Amino acid sequence: MKVAENIIESIAVIEVEGNIDSKTAPEFEKAALASIKNQGQVIIDLSKVEFLSSAGLRVLLMIYRQIKVQSGKVVLVGVSEEIQEVMSNTGFINFFIIVGTIEEGIQTLKS
């Protein structure tokens, strides 16, 4: 798994590549928490993630809660149908805005 962090138009953008499971979730958590520090708006690009375990869902929820405390928003980008289905079944999908591209995510957060 790879995690890349950028700031685009003052929005934290976290790009993840690979599976997020019990082995890789701690690495994802560490990188994500570092990049959302002092951020009110976050985009997480999951377009290169094929598998998201319950450990990965837990990290997403943790990010959501940290941003929510700051009255911010979290946008997920490129979420596969399979991952959306898991998120829907667990109720996690209600916490996030889901869009197709990073550009859409930026527009959503700017509006």
Residue type, 32: A
Q: Which domain holds residue 66?
A: 2-110
Rounded CA-CA distance 107/111 in Å is 6
CATH code, 81:
3.30.750.24
Give me the number of domains the chain comprises. 1
pTM reported for the whole predicted model: 0.94
Helix (H) or strand (E) holding 43: strand 41-48
* Identity of the residue numbered 52: L
pLDDT per residue as tens, the chain (111 positions): 999 999 999 999 999 999 999 999 999 999 999 988 888 899 999 999 999 999 999 999 999 999 999 889 999 999 999 999 999 999 999 999 999 999 999 999 998
